[in-house]
Amino acid sequence: MSSGSPSHFRQQRRHASFSFSSRDFSTGAPKGKRILVTGGAGFLGSHLVERLLGTGHSVLCLDNFSTGTHHNLRHLGERNDLTIVDHDVALPFDLGSFDEIYNLACPASPPHYQADPIQTTKTCVLGAMNVLEVARKYNARVLQASTSEIYGDPNVHPQRETYWGNVNPIGPRACYDEGKRCAETLFFDYARTYDVSVRVARIFNTYGPRMRPDDGRVVSNFIVQALRGEDITVYGSGEQTRSFCYVSDLVDGLIRLMDSPDSVDAPVNLGNPGEFTVGNLATMVINMVGSRSSIVYRPLPIDDPRQRRPDISQAKTRLDWHPKVSLQDGLAKTIDYFDLLLSAPAPRATHELAHEMEAR
Ligand code: NAD
Ligand code: UDP
């Protein structure tokens, strides 16, 4: 692949089907596995890419930069074992062979995935098909970043993988919820029909550094509001619950799931089973930041789930995984990150912040 971009990343900017030889992916001697990460420039994806590179693998990051950014990867520097391709996963692609594929491409924040709901459905469904076709062609193992939204507004608590969910198929969240449900269907149909080796992670609310300040999800919203001394916007009464997982724990779970034997042949919940009301979270953030922000109440979004808590017994027994970072510790790291980001006189690039935080 040629180096056509002014950026220090090697990139391709094409929006039709294309291919390049495997030789082009890594010009150095191959080490570790060749891994495709779609959505690798996003919040979770960038942490995953960093971890995979750190353990000796070569990574190709495919991203259309709709919610992700080059800044999330820039601290990794220019290197032979990382290639970045600008492409919409909903359009077919052939980038040569891979040993493993992590399919993370999709906006995860409700305001972002609802901004262009038809594109969100295409990303979930067509994106899954395109990724699965690549896995089928090159015999790659493929992991889907699915979601607790599969369970919708759950009538079973905590949520086990065997629960089929309670999703409104025509509401404003459906583009994401039903898109992700259809993606799971495709993953297991490709496994049954073509013997593709699939893994499906049902991820519960995950937070940490490199979330965008305008991401819109609750943890980043509350921290940014508290640091700025703005009102903390609690939607509804604040009695709805969520379970919050720190990003390093989640990445560890994704890699363990990918490395698991084929006998792990059903979706696996990944999340922190600690359960907090949104009101609890607001108070915690205000206290930890030492903010004078007030809590204000705003209308609850349509179809907002009332409760969420993962049953992680499958992840514990089959992956030997459980989250290690408490909400208090994870929030402290995330507050540090946003504090640096927001206190800089000029907008700060996230790669500079990553360096500063590592140096601490
Ligand atoms: P994010 O928005 O930060 O990252 C998504 C990445 O995908 C971005 O880099 C974006 O530019 C890219 N992308 C979006 N549409 C694309 C397309 N059509 N083609 C190529 N790239 C595209 O979100 P995140 O929190 O990092 O989530 C990553 C994945 O994990 C998503 O699939 C999401 O559904 C899933 N997930 C995340 C959470 C969470 O709490 N963070 C929870 C459940 C599931
Ligand atoms: N929420 C809130 N204030 C905000 C953002 C979100 O009260 O500024 C609520 C939201 O209504 C939901 C919960 O926090 O009940 C978690 O929202 P988030 O967008 O983080 O993720 P979800 O789990 O709903 O996809």
According to the model, what pLDDT value does residue 263 have?
81
According to the model, what pLDDT value does residue 31 have?
61
- Per the annotation, the verdict on 163 as an active-site residue is no
What distance in Å separates the CA atoms of residue 139 and residue 137, rounded to the nearest whole number? 6
Catalytic residue among 176, 190, 207, 337: 176
Which ligand places an atom closest to the C-alpha of 110? 2
| Protein residue with least CA distance to atom 3, ligand 2 | 234
According to the model, what pLDDT value does residue 347 have?
56
What distance in Å separates the CA atoms of residue 186 and residue 179, rounded to the nearest whole number? 11
According to the model, what pLDDT value does residue 105 have?
98
| Protein residue with least CA distance to atom 21, ligand 2 | 217
According to the model, what pLDDT value does residue 359 have?
55
Distance (Å) from CA 218 to ligand 2 centroid: 5
Which ligand places an atom closest to the C-alpha of 231? 2
Which atom, in ligand 2's list, is nearest to the CA of 234? Answer: 7
Q: Which residues of the chain have pLDDT under 50?
A: 1-30
Structure tokens at 291: 């903010």
According to the model, what pLDDT value does residue 298 have?
97
What distance in Å separates the CA atoms of residue 65 and residue 74, rounded to the nearest whole number? 14
What distance in Å separates the CA atoms of residue 305 and residue 167, rounded to the nearest whole number? 10
Write the DSSP string, 53-95: HHTT-EEEEEE--SS--THHHHTT-S-TTEEEEE--TTS----
Residue in this structure with the two tokens 């609750």, named with its chain if needed = 218
Predicted structure pTM score: 0.92
Residue in this structure with the two tokens 């790669």, named with its chain if needed = 351
Which atom, in ligand 1's list, is nearest to the CA of 245? Answer: 40
Quick check: CB of 105 below 6 Å from ligand 1? yes
Distance (Å) from CA 290 to ligand 1 centroid: 31
Distance (Å) from CA 110 to ligand 2 centroid: 8
According to the model, what pLDDT value does residue 360 have?
54
According to the model, what pLDDT value does residue 26 have?
45
Q: Which residues of 318-348 are buried (b: 16+ CB within 10 A; e: fewer)?
A: bbebebebebeebbebbbebbebbeeeeeee
The bridge status of strand 141-147 relative to strand 100-103 is parallel
Ranges of beta strands (E only) in 167-228 are 198-203, 206-207
Handedness of CA 64, 117, 306, 281 (dihedral sign): positive
**Cβ contacts of 208 within 8 Å, gap of 6 or more:** 43, 47, 246, 247, 248, 330, 333, 334, 337
Domains by residue range for the chain, with CATH? 6-204+246-273+305-325 (3.40.50.720)
233, containing H or E segment = strand 232-235
Handedness of CA 53, 55, 57, 61 (dihedral sign): negative
What distance in Å separates the CA atoms of residue 152 and residue 332, rounded to the nearest whole number? 29
**Ligand 2 binding site (Cβ under 6 Å of any ligand atom):** 110, 205, 217-218, 221, 233-235, 240, 242, 278, 301, 304
Structure tokens at 135: 């896995």
